[in-house]
Amino acid sequence: MGPSSQPVLLPPQLFREGVPKSEEEWQAAGREAATLLSQYIAINTTNPPGNELKAAEWVKQVLAREGIESQVFEPGPGKANLYARVRGDGSGRPLIFLNHMDVVLASPEYWKVDPFGGVVKDGYVWGRGALDMKGEAIAQLMTLIILKRAQVPLRRDVIFLATSDEEIGAGVGAGWFVENHPDLIQDAEFLINEGGTIRADARGRIEYYGVGTTEKSPFWLNVSARGTAGHGSRPTPDNPVHRLVRALNRIASWQTPLVVTPTVERYLHDLSTIETDATRRAWLADVRAALRDSTAIRALTADLTYNALLRNTISITGLKGSDKTNVIPPVASAALDVRLLPAQEPAAFLAELVRVVNDSAVTITPQGPNWPATESSADTELFRAIVAAARARDPDALVTTPPLTGFTDSHYFRRLGIVSYGLSPFPLNQVESRGVHGNDERVSFDDLTFGVHFMYDVVSRVVAR
Ligand SMILES: [Zn+2]
State which amino acid sits at residue 186.
Q
CATH of the domain at 320: 3.30.70.360
How many degrees, rounded to 5, is the angle at CA 44 between CA 39 and CA 49?
150
CA of 368 to the centre of ligand 1 (A): 19
Of 32-36, 45-49, 203-207, 431-435, the one with minimum mean pLDDT is: 431-435
Instruction: Please give the model's pTM, rounded to 2 decimal places.
Output: 0.93
CA of 136 to the centre of ligand 1 (A): 9
Residues 197 and 260 in one domain: no
Q: Indicate if the pLDDT at residue 264 is higher than 90.
A: yes
CA of 103 to the centre of ligand 1 (A): 7
Residues 318 and 450 in one domain: no
Task: Determine the pLDDT at residue 2.
Answer: 41
Residues 235 and 349 in one domain: yes
CA of 426 to the centre of ligand 1 (A): 14
Task: Determine the pLDDT at residue 8.
Answer: 59
CA of 166 to the centre of ligand 1 (A): 7
DSSP letters, 6-34, are S---PPP-SS-SS---SHHHHHHHHHHHH
Q: Is 427 in a helix, a strand, or coil?
A: strand
Residues within 5 Å of ion ligand 1 by Cβ? 132-133, 194
Answer yes or no: are the C-beta atoms of 394 and 206 closer than 8 Å. yes
CA of 343 to the centre of ligand 1 (A): 24
- pLDDT for 393-422, tens place per residue? 999 999 999 999 999 999 999 999 999 999
Structurally, the chain folds into a number of domains equal to: 2
CATH of the domain at 38: 3.40.630.10
Answer yes or no: are the C-beta atoms of 461 and 389 closer than 8 Å. yes
CA of 134 to the centre of ligand 1 (A): 9
CA of 199 to the centre of ligand 1 (A): 17
Task: Work out the pLDDT band at 460, boundaries 50, 70, 90.
Answer: very high
Give the end of a domain, one of 370, 402, 437.
370
CA of 409 to the centre of ligand 1 (A): 9
Residues 251 and 336 in one domain: yes
- pLDDT for 51-98, tens place per residue? 999 999 999 999 999 999 999 999 999 999 999 999 999 999 999 999
CA of 195 to the centre of ligand 1 (A): 8
Residues 203 and 232 in one domain: no
CA of 14 to the centre of ligand 1 (A): 28
State which amino acid sits at residue 288.
R
CA of 100 to the centre of ligand 1 (A): 7
Residues 184 and 92 in one domain: yes
Residues 308 and 160 in one domain: no
- pLDDT for 323-347, tens place per residue? 999 999 999 999 999 999 998 999 9
Give the end of a domain, one of 332, 347, 370.
370
CA of 398 to the centre of ligand 1 (A): 24
Residue ranges making up the domain that contains 225 = 220-370
